Structure formats: C-alpha cells, structure tokens
Amino acid sequence: MSNTGDILETERLRVRNWQESDRPLFYEINSDPKVMEFFPHRRSVEEADAFMGKVASEIATTGYGAYALALKDTDEPIGFCALMPAAMPGLFPEETIEIGWRLAVRFWGKGYVTEAARTLLDYAFDVKKLDAVVSFAVPANRRSTAVMERLGLTRMPAMDFDHPRVPDTHPHLKRHVFYAITRKAWLKRRKGAPTSD
C-alpha cells in the first residue's frame, strides 16, 4: 500500500481507500446498533459523510487509516480494517499504531476481518517496519477480542485503560482491554500460521 491508498489484496478482499459509492455502507456501519454496540455514538448520515471524507483524506496523505474492505469479485464494500495512530497522548507513545475493524452485520462470521487484519499486519511489519501493533476493545466485545487472539496478539492486563474519548454517560464502555504483538512475534508466528480461521 502506498501513501496514496493504492490497493492491497487478500484472497477474497480488496483493501483500499473509500470512494463515493461507499457512502451508504459507511453510514450503515457507523449507525447500526449491532455494529456500534460497544461504541457510545451513532453517526447521522451527515456525520458519516463528513467522517468518511476525513478518513479518506488521512489515508491519501499519511498511508494510515480505516481502509475500506471490499469483496474482490464485485468491489462491494463490507466494512473497514484500520491501521492508524492510537492518538491517545498520555496513555500511549505518539508513535503507537493500533489495528481495528468494523463490518456490516450481514458479513459477520465469514473470517473477513481476520483475513484483512493478517494482510495489514504483514504490511505494518514488512513495509512500515513497525516495532509493534496494538489493539483494544471493551471487555464484553468478545467478537473483537477473539479476532485479536486469532491473530496472535497478546493480552496485557497491566495495560488495560479507561478510554479518554468515551463520555461519562457511558461508564460501561469506558474500560478497555489491551492487546499487542511485536514485529518479532508476528514474523515468528507467520512461519507457522494457518491460512484461514
């Protein structure tokens, strides 16, 4: 992936920047109560459109961001997989990069996130030469933490934290569990990693 958001491919997916035709899907994954169960805010159409523009610009200018995931055969968007700065001063060093994901409900349970995340971890460690990648989620979000575990990220309880951008009106969403994987651990794991879930 280049800093202009050129396409990466997995067996079934394209990992790319967002395009105009993706707007309905982007709104869906930012407003659906099931998708957003562990997030405090659902975006309106206008908010989602503005946010998609911001995300697309960040990908184009920095090479990092919440990349669109699309089915390779049809280019139908299904959600995103992100590789981006954690952006939490005081909690993590400035250079900390997190991996995360969000899919429309109809695409759950097919292994798409794990497939995309593996490709992005290859990119993070092979191309970007990162030392480590982190991920975090609300403890009850077992769908996400299960993906972290499948990817080989290590749970680090001493690093659990209260998310600074979760408002006090949602206390049950504040606490986040922390996972991470180093470049050395990923390269070692990859030599014997399975190719599917």
Residue among 158, 133, 114 nearest 11 (CA): 114
Q: Is the pLDDT of residue 28 over 60?
A: yes
Q: Is residue 2 part of a domain?
A: no
8-state DSSP, 20: G
Q: Is residue 196 part of a domain?
A: no
CATH number for the domain harbouring residue 181: 3.40.630.30
For residue 50, what are the domain limits? 8-190
Report the domain count for the chain: 1
> pLDDT digit string (tens) for 3-27?
344 579 999 999 999 999 999 999 9
Q: Is residue 1 part of a domain?
A: no
Q: Is residue 177 part of a domain?
A: yes
pLDDT at res. 178: 98
Q: Are 174 and 162 in contact (CB under 8 A)?
A: yes
In angstroms, the CA 69 to CA 17 distance is 9
> pLDDT digit string (tens) for 101-133?
999 999 999 999 999 999 999 999 999 999 999
Q: Can you read off the two tokens belonging to residue 139?
A: 């403890």
The helix/strand/coil state of 101 is strand
